[in-house]
């Protein structure tokens, strides 16, 4: 049975590879990406709109949403996309 000796350099190289892998997992987009979900009252305050206007945005498909247990959630990136899509050009 051959004996392998692990040096400090080997451990340092392993550490660097491990850190690269962990950063890749944390920084990559996957099923657990850090998506900011907002509730209706937050969206209304952000856009300065009424509850009826928010409902119209949902009904006509302008703003996507998810409903869980009676609470409606919106992705912050979807709200940003709606705002950017409505920029008026001169």
Q: State the pLDDT at residue 57.
A: 93
Q: Tell me whether residue 21 is exposed, middle or buried, using C-beta atoms within 10 angstroms of its C-beta: 0 to 12, 13 to 18, 19 or more.
A: exposed
Q: State the pLDDT at residue 54.
A: 95
- CA distances to 9, 20, 55, 81 from 74, rounded to whole Å, are 49, 33, 12, 12
Give residue-wise pLDDT tens across range 30-63: 444 556 899 999 999 988 899 999 999 999 999 9
Q: State the pLDDT at residue 84.
A: 84
- Measure the CA–CA gap between 32 and 18, rounded to whole angstroms: 20
Q: Which helix (H) or strand (E) holds 24?
A: helix 8-27
Q: How confident is the model at residue 67 (pLDDT cuts 50, 70, 90)?
A: very high
Give residue-wise pLDDT tens across range 69-88: 999 999 999 898 888 887 55
Q: How confident is the model at residue 20 (pLDDT cuts 50, 70, 90)?
A: confident
57 closest CA partner among 38, 76, 42, 43: 43
18 phi and psi angles, rounded to 5 deg: -65, -45
Q: State the pLDDT at residue 34.
A: 55
Q: Assess contact for 81 and 88: CB atoms under 8 A.
A: no
């Amino acid at each position: 049975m051959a004996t392998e000796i692990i040096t400090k350099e080997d451990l340092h190289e392993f550490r660097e590879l491990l850190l690269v892998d962990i950063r890749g997992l944390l920084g990559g987009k996957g099923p657990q990406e850090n998506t900011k979900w907002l509730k209706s009252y937050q969206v209304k305050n952000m856009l300065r709109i009424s509850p009826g206007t928010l409902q119209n945005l949902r009904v006509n498909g302008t703003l996507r949403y998810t409903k869980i247990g009676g609470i409606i959630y919106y992705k912050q990136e979807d709200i940003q996309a709606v705002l950017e899509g409505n920029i008026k050009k001169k």
